Amino acid sequence: MSVPADSKPFTAFVSRPNTNAYVRSFAASAQPRGDLINRTFLDAMTVRYKVFILEQKVPLECELDEDDPRSCHWVAYMSDGIDDTSPTSQLAVGCIRAVPYPQSPHPIPGAAYTIVNGLNQIKGRWVRRVEVARDAETPGLLLPPPPSYSTPQSELEFVPASAQDALAAAEVAGPDRATSLHNGKEPYIKLGRIAVLSNCRGLRLGQYLVQTALYWIKANPTYFDQHDPGAAAATAETKFDGLVCVHAQVHALGFYIRLGFVVDEDMGTWWEEGIPHVGMLLRLDMSKGS
Ligand SMILES: CC(C)(COP(=O)(O)OP(=O)(O)OC[C@H]1O[C@@H](n2cnc3c(N)ncnc32)[C@H](O)[C@@H]1OP(=O)(O)O)[C@@H](O)C(=O)NCCC(=O)NCCS
């Protein structure tokens, strides 16, 4: 597939797609009940399949999660340059989603997560090798301090989930913990599953997708309150005030910094499907028009 350099991207939007017909064990393009799935959402899942599953080696069953049916999704398309008037010449090249509040608790620093049946589960934690050696001498005294995103992966060792991890998970099941940039209570929207096909990177499509979602959030600050009873309940006390979070893959930090996001140091570093992530936040100025 090739996209001509002068092709202008555009986006399609789908809100809260019904994912009941989506079968996790099939690729997006081979869904057995594909005709029952919203076309734009299927295009988003096709991009996600190519980027996260084929390129980043995320397991197929882990891609669709419980947040997909309650999110808004955008897909970026570009023309293949052969026939601009034909819908079939529009190629899905990127995608992003906005997940409404309420959010799951902030991840546990150091924890390694995987998605099982759409739900996030801890399968273990990453610990500095020196800490593993120290723990072997004086076992179980203290939970080792979690590694940071600048710790080289070669200095880390994976420790499978233990009773300690279950305890830590239980600890965050109630109200969220406060971090450097979030008080643990304020409702925020999470942008995620941002992906651009590898042969279309560097064309500002990623930036275009994030900015499209941010403009939409500014223009529709109460959208989720109106359409999602869970979101309405989450803003009963504190209204949404433009706080937007990303769980950024560490390699993409620079991409988000250029867009105005700031690393939340207290949120720490955790691993999703083996990929290190950090929390980043941005506050939209909701007083100015979109
Ligand atoms: C991250 C990703 C979406 C960026 O998409 P893209 O279309 O190539 O990015 P853009 O062309 O819009 O880049 C915008 C700016 O960010 C910079 N940038 C892009 N990727 C970057 C990266 N990984 N690290 C640092 N800077 C990056 C670009 O150089 C550009 O900077 P400039 O404005 O100074 O020229 C894309 O690389 C991707 O899909 N990666 C695989 C999936 C992934 O990791 N998703 C992120 C999950 S958190």
- For the stretch 98-132, pLDDT in tens is 999 999 999 999 999 999 988 888 999 898 988 87
Dist. CA 237 → ligand 1 center (Å): 36
Domain ranges across the chain = 10-103+182-266
Domain 10-103+182-266 has CATH 3.30.2130.10: no
Q: Which atom of ligand 1 is nearest to the CA of 52?
A: 42
Dist. CA 203 → ligand 1 center (Å): 9
Among protein residues, the one whose CA lies closest to atom 13 of ligand 1: 204
Looking up tokens 């570009």, which residue turns up?
Answer: 78
Q: How many CB atoms lie within 10 A of CB 159?
A: 18
Confidence bin at 85 (pLDDT 50/70/90):
low
Dist. CA 206 → ligand 1 center (Å): 6
β-pairing verdict for 269-272 and 111-116 = parallel
Using alpha carbons, select from 75, 113, 80 the residue that is nearest to residue 94: 75
Average pLDDT for residues 190-202, to the nearest whole number? 97
Q: Which atom of ligand 1 is nearest to the CA of 247?
A: 48
Contact indicator for 189, 98 with CB cutoff of 8 Å:
yes
pLDDT tens-digit profile of 9-35?
A: 999 999 999 999 999 999 999 999 999
Contact indicator for 119, 72 with CB cutoff of 8 Å:
no
Q: Sort 97 into a burial class: Cβ within 10 Å, 0-12 / 13-18 / 19+.
A: buried
What residues are in contact with ligand 1 under a 6 Å CB criterion? 51, 194-196, 201-207, 248-249, 251-252, 254-255, 258
pLDDT tens-digit profile of 141-188?
A: 556 788 999 999 999 999 898 766 665 665 555 578 999 999 999 999
Q: Which atom of ligand 1 is nearest to the CA of 210?
A: 12
Q: Which atom of ligand 1 is nearest to the CA of 55?
A: 41
Dist. CA 189 → ligand 1 center (Å): 21
Among protein residues, the one whose CA lies closest to atom 19 of ligand 1: 255
Dist. CA 90 → ligand 1 center (Å): 22
DSSP code at position 145? P
**What residues contact residue 175 under an 8 Å CB cut-off, 6+ apart?**
184, 185
Percent of the chain scoring above 70 in pLDDT: 87
Q: Which atom of ligand 1 is nearest to the CA of 251?
A: 23
Q: Is the peptide bond before 102 cis (omega within 30 degrees of 0)?
A: yes
Dist. CA 83 → ligand 1 center (Å): 28
Length of the chain as a residue count: 290
Looking up tokens 């393009």, which residue turns up?
Answer: 29
**What residues contact residue 191 under an 8 Å CB cut-off, 6+ apart?**
96, 97, 98, 99, 210, 213, 214, 244, 245, 246
- Which pLDDT value is given to residue 84? 60
**What is the biggest distance separating any 2 CA atoms in the chain, rounded to whole angstroms?**
70
- Which pLDDT value is given to residue 161? 87
Dist. CA 259 → ligand 1 center (Å): 10
**What residues contact residue 189 under an 8 Å CB cut-off, 6+ apart?**
98, 99, 100, 101, 217, 224, 240, 243, 244, 245
**What residues contact residue 284 under an 8 Å CB cut-off, 6+ apart?**
214, 217, 218, 242, 243, 244
Pocket test for ligand 1, best of 197, 255, 258, 269 (most atoms within 8 A of CB): 255
Dist. CA 2 → ligand 1 center (Å): 19
The CA–CA distances, whole Å, from 278 to 250, 268, 273 equal 6, 6, 14
pLDDT tens-digit profile of 55-67?
A: 999 999 999 999 9
- Rounded to the nearest integer, the mean pLDDT of the chain is 90
Q: Which long-range contacts (CB under 8 A, 24 or more apart) does 265-268 make?
A: 265/179, 265/180, 266/178, 266/179, 266/180, 266/181, 267/106, 267/107, 267/109, 267/179, 267/180, 267/181, 267/182, 268/107, 268/108, 268/109, 268/110, 268/146, 268/148
